[in-house]
Structure 1
Amino acid sequence: MQASVGDKLLVHGRTVGQHDRTAEVTEVLGKDGTPPYRVRFDDDGHEALMSPGPDTVVRPHDTMHDKM
């Protein structure tokens, strides 16, 4: 997985009834865009250090901007 600052991470809910969450990458701490990432969750503004698993999809900033 690779991400850049400004990209969004879509984290799918792992259990029935758990909603998907999105977070914006604010800092890339790994080499060449790899995890871990410092992120800010869109729903509550919570900031966290994250090493995304297979339940996470990167949505590049350019793609998100083009759809607006």
Structure 2
Amino acid sequence: MLAQIGDRIVLEGTHLNDARRTGLIVAVAHADGSPPYEVRWLDTGRTTFIFPGPEARIEHREPAGEASEPSP
């Protein structure tokens, strides 16, 4: 799993009734984008370091100027 600053990380619940959590990656520890990541959680605003597990996925941000055009 590789990420960059500005990507979102989504953690799916692993138990019944666990909520999905989404955070913004604000720092990466390694130049190649490997964990751990410093994440600001959107639900609390709190910042933590995490080593993501199998329940995590990265949503890469679109590079500036490459946003998709609306369909006519």
**TM-score, L = length of structure 1:** 0.88
Where does residue 50 of structure 1 map in the other structure? Answer: 50
| In 2: Cα distance, 1:28 partner to 1:39 partner | 9
The AA in structure 1 aligned to 2:51 is S
The AA in structure 1 aligned to 2:27 is E
- Computed over aligned residues only, the root mean square deviation of the Cα atoms, in angstroms, reads 1.8
| In 1: Cα distance, 2:14 partner to 2:47 partner | 20
Give every structure 1 segment of 4 or more consecutive aligned residues whose post-TM-superposition deviation is greater than 2 Å.
Answer: none
1:61 correspondence with 2:58:
no
Where does residue 4 of structure 1 map in the other structure? Answer: 4
Which one has the bigger helix percentage?
Answer: 1
How many residue pairs match? The answer is: 66
| In 1: Cα distance, 2:67 partner to 2:52 partner | 24
**TM-score, L = length of structure 2:** 0.84
Gaps of 5+ in 1: none
- Percent of pairs with identical residues: 30
- Structure whose alpha-carbon radius of gyration is higher: 2
